[in-house]
Amino acid sequence: MLKTFAPSAASSPLPYGEGNASPFSSSISLDLRFRNGNRHGFMYAYLFDVAYDASELIRLTFGGTQVEIRGRNLSDLYEKLLVHGVGYTQESSQAPPLEIDTRPHIETISILKIEE
């Protein structure tokens, strides 16, 4: 049974959650949650490329589809995606944090079909 991420009241909520309680386990799929309520899931079995651009972009390639996650302070999310440790990620409905804020912030998630 997969456990969902539930931050404590004392901590600030993250824009992503773990699929399992153990850091040595991995999730089966990645659930993308958009601010309008739409959701889209991808199986990690089809993930074959994860790229991190320190200027605020993570690009995932699942077969013929690319997912772009744009935001700030995404290095921890990138590290967890590499080991399939993220069960979901969601766009923020709030304004971007100040430059000095070190919490992760996801501004947009885009799904793009790769043209061959």
Looking at the structure of the chain, the number of domains it has is 1
Q: Does 60 fall in a domain?
A: yes
Q: What tokens does 39 get?
A: 């959701």
96, β-bridge pairs:
none
Q: Does 2 fall in a domain?
A: no
Structural domain range at position 104: 16-113
Distance CA 16, CA 5 (A): 8
Averaged in consecutive runs of 10 residues, what is the pLDDT profile of the chain (116 residues)? 35 57 67 95 95 94 95 92 92 75 87 87
Q: Does 63 fall in a domain?
A: yes
Q: Does 1 fall in a domain?
A: no
* Pairing of the two strands 65-72 and 57-62: antiparallel
Q: Does 85 fall in a domain?
A: yes
Predicted local distance difference test score (pLDDT) of residue 42:
96
Ramachandran angles phi, psi of 58, nearest 5°: -120, 130
